[in-house]
Amino acid sequence: MSGWATVAIVAIVVWGIVQISRARHRAERGIVRDERGNESLAAQPDPAAQREIEDLRERIKVLERIATDGNSLDARETRAIAEEIESLRQQQD
């Protein structure tokens, strides 16, 4: 391989490493690039808002557990009614 080809390959590899490093640095700092190549700082979430979102997620988990829990009062009543209907059906037969 000639000397110029080696220099060209090394230059391309170094350019690639620099581009990867710049992309990582931008991502760490929250810099985003749009479709035209313009760079801007991404909006940073408010810590208080983040805490509120986490609290709301926990509340939703609790509500989902209550709604789907088989041991809730409604679930027991529904099960008791279903058992009573089934026993009445068996008495008729």
Q: Is the pTM of this model over 0.75?
A: no
Termini Cα distance of the chain: 95
Q: Are residues 59 and 87 in the same domain?
A: yes
Q: Are residues 51 and 38 in the same domain?
A: no
Instruction: Decide: 85 and 92 in contact? Cβ < 8 Å.
Output: no
Q: Are residues 39 and 51 in the same domain?
A: no
Residues in the chain: 93
Q: Are residues 55 and 30 in the same domain?
A: no
Average pLDDT over residues 32-55: 84
Q: Decide: residue 7, CB within 10 A, 0-12 exposed, 13-18 middle, 19+ buried.
A: exposed
**Domain of 4, in residue numbers:** 1-43
Q: Are residues 52 and 93 in the same domain?
A: yes
| CA 31 – CA 23 distance, rounded (Å) | 9
Provide the domain count of the chain.
2
User: Each residue of 48-59: pLDDT tens digit?
Assistant: 888 999 999 999
Q: Are residues 14 and 37 in the same domain?
A: yes
User: Each residue of 60-90: pLDDT tens digit?
Assistant: 988 887 777 766 677 788 888 889 988 888 8
Higher pLDDT, 33 or 17: 17
| Amino acid 23: pLDDT | 84
Q: Are residues 38 and 77 in the same domain?
A: no
